[in-house]
Amino acid sequence: MASLELGSVSVRMHAFNIVKSEIQTRLIPLLNSVSGQVLDLQDVFRRFSFDNICKFSFGFDPCCLELSLPMPASEFAEAFDLASKLSAQRGLSSSSLIWKVKRVLNLGSEKELKSAIKMVDQFAQRMINQRRELGFSDKSDLLSRFMATKIDDDKYLRDIVVSFLLAGRDTVASGLTSFFWLLSQNPKVEFAIRDELEKVTAAFSPSDEKDFVMFDQMREMHYLHAALCESLRLFPPVQFDSKFAQQDDVLPDFTFVRKGTRVTYHPYAMGRMERVWGSDCLEFKPERWLKNGRYVPENPYKYPVFQAGLRVCLGKEMALVEMKCVVLAIIKRFNIQ
């Protein structure tokens, strides 16, 4: 159901308009206000992506990217961050027994985690209740779309939306942060993107919006797409991932995988392997993705940044469009050092 929804033109245009509004009304004014100063771009991008994913998922605006950069960004964002952080820390424990005992006794980090999750759950429930009271048939956010399909299991709805928040917040922020760091080290790439931007926008009619690159124009920017793919090769937001075999299986190289086995792959390491990408594997080189000036995709099993096969990332296209919008809006107006 999510795959069908996210693949529809109406949903993609809805997401594009949310991103466009956030850039025009918050991101650009903020960057204008601090021009010539030092700014924590990672913090800015995390606020930006959280605003976007909340609007898209819930139809709720947490206003994290206000000009004053409020601290905390919002109570919901703070609880969400803490729950994510403490959940991840469980995996760093020398033994799972430690956090399980703390959970039973409701102590320390497990007590904090329980409180943070409760706040996230309560917020999600408020959003669901509001939709029921106000109606959802004319709303475009993800929650409303799922509710319109007659799903009335509140826990199920909450889990869907929270999983989209997890998937769409830190990944985009991480991808943008790495990209601008690489761009600051590679002025030739920055120049090439600006050059492509000028050529593509000049080819469109004067009636097109001049302050914002439109959806159709972005599809013609092959070098920009290549640069983003190259950045994600070197700095994938999800550095490693795991799957568990539901049944006995055999991998393409004839490795037998027993039912219940955990199989982990590591996009970060794979993107830096000489035998996979060649002797220049550590270089930031967008040209490796281009053939006669046009972007040519790699085999997703060689480049599993968005996963591959039946489990390919549902939000891949939306995430790339969001990143492109930000890159073009900033590069058109500012030099980032």
pLDDT digits (tens, 9 = 90+) for 163-175: 888 888 889 999 9
Q: Is the dihedral of CA 182, 35, 63, 218 positive or negative?
A: negative
The pair of structure tokens assigned to 280 is 């220049």
pLDDT tens column, 184-205: 999 999 999 999 999 988 876 5
pTM: 0.89
d(CA 131, CA 138): 11
Q: How far is residue 130 from each of residues 48, 84, 90, 144, 166, measured CA to CA in Å? A: 24, 25, 34, 10, 22
- Cβ-in-10-Å burial (0-12, 13-18, 19+) of 84 comes to middle
By CB neighbour count within 10 A (0-12 exposed, 13-18 middle, 19+ buried), where does 43 fall? middle
Tens digit of pLDDT at every position of the chain (337 positions): 777 777 778 888 888 999 999 999 999 999 999 878 889 999 999 999 999 999 998 888 989 998 888 887 788 889 988 998 999 899 888 888 999 999 999 999 999 999 999 999 998 888 888 888 888 777 788 888 888 887 888 888 888 888 888 888 889 999 999 999 999 999 999 999 999 999 988 876 555 455 677 778 888 999 999 999 999 999 999 999 888 999 999 988 899 999 999 999 999 999 999 999 999 999 999 999 999 999 999 999 999 999 988 888 888 988 999 999 999 999 999 988 8
**What count of other Cβ atoms lies within 10 Å of the Cβ of residue 121?**
17
Q: What proportions of the chain, in percent to the nearest 5, are helix, strand and coil?
A: 60, 5, 35
Q: Counting beta carbons within 10 angstroms of the beta carbon of residue 321, is it exposed (0 to 12), middle (13 to 18) or buried (19 or more)?
A: middle
Position 139, amino acid: K
Do 119 and 79 form a contact (C-beta atoms < 8 A)? yes
CA distance linking residue 232 with residue 164, whole number of Å = 20
Structure tokens at 30: 């903020």
63 in a labelled binding site: no
Which residue is it, tokens 């928040």?
165
Q: Which CATH number fits domain 1-238+272-332: 3.40.50.2000, 1.10.630.10, 3.40.190.10, 3.30.70.141?
A: 1.10.630.10
Q: Residue type at 306?
A: F
Q: Which amino acid is it at 269?
A: A
Kindly state the tokens that stand for 149.
Answer: 């399909």
Identify any residues that bridge with 277 across adjacent strands, giving them in sequence order.
none
The span from the CA of 108 to the CA of 207, in Å, is 59
Length of the chain: 337
Closest CA to 193 of 307, 323, 77, 36: 323
